[in-house]
Amino acid sequence: MIRFIFIALFLILYLILSCPVMLILLLVRRFNAKKADFIMQRIVQGALSIVWHMAGVKVTTIGLENVPEDQAVLFVGNHQSFFDVIISYSQMKRQTAYIAKKSFRKWPILSWNMMFLHCLFLDRENMRQGVKTIMTAAEMARDEDISIFIFPEGTRNKGDETELAPFHDGSFKVAQRGKVPIIPVSFNNTAAVFEKHLPKITPQHVVIEYGEPIYWDALTKEERKYVGEHFRGILTEMVKKNKELV
């Protein structure tokens, strides 16, 4: 519980201090939007790095060199924990927007941070709004050169980490419409840090792997038709392979 308390206090302090910082950066945005976004990204990455270090997490990263540095990409990952975002965002080299469920919009200050970083909120219960969000993400990737990170399972999977929930095919429209490569990202053992024993936080060894980029045009007709299942298979194999590393 001690780790949870210290991390909670740190996050509260960060959120309070982030308000004046965002106000200043909003002014900077008027003159140099990219600079303001870059500064905010680095601030958030620093804060999240502190969080997982406070949690006592040891991270093994595989394949980060597979992520192109000269273009936006669509990251797709399996999802079991808040630490999936905490760890992966701290490793992003380019401006990256995460697609989160709409309930996060209700969290004051946190949602402001997320919107400053171009994150989008997806309403899976409203198909029309959901499609609109995915199309907005595709435009961001294509026109603004912002990478997109999405968890196609739609929510955190609370079962066995090797048993991924079905992937939503619509998530991959970002790559198709945005003309960007897809990077599969697997997470191992992140739920053991927090979700498996709420509210206790325990030190764990976590493995994250970035697969090689896969281009929409390189997929076969069958793979495109069942694109969610195709990438679910890829990520399942990655998770199973890295389970022994934990």
- The 10s digit of each residue's pLDDT in 54-86 is 999 999 999 999 999 999 999 999 999 999 999
CA distance 77 to 165: 11
Q: pLDDT, tens digit, for every residue of 184-211? A: 999 999 999 999 999 999 999 999 999 9
* pLDDT greater than 90 at residue 49: yes
pLDDT for 39: 97
Show me where the domains of the chain are located.
58-243
pTM of the model as a whole:
0.95
Estimate the share of the chain in helix, then strand, then coil, as percent rounded to the nearest 5. 55, 15, 35
Helices within 32-98 (DSSP H only): 33-54, 82-89
Domain 58-243 sits in CATH at 3.40.1130.10
Q: pLDDT, tens digit, for every residue of 155-172? A: 888 888 999 999 999 999
pLDDT band of residue 126 (cuts 50, 70, 90) is confident
Q: What are phi and psi of 132, to 5 degrees?
A: -60, -40
Helices within 79-216 (DSSP H only): 82-89, 110-116, 127-143, 173-178
pLDDT for 124: 80
Helices within 103-220 (DSSP H only): 110-116, 127-143, 173-178
Letter for the amino acid at 121? Answer: F
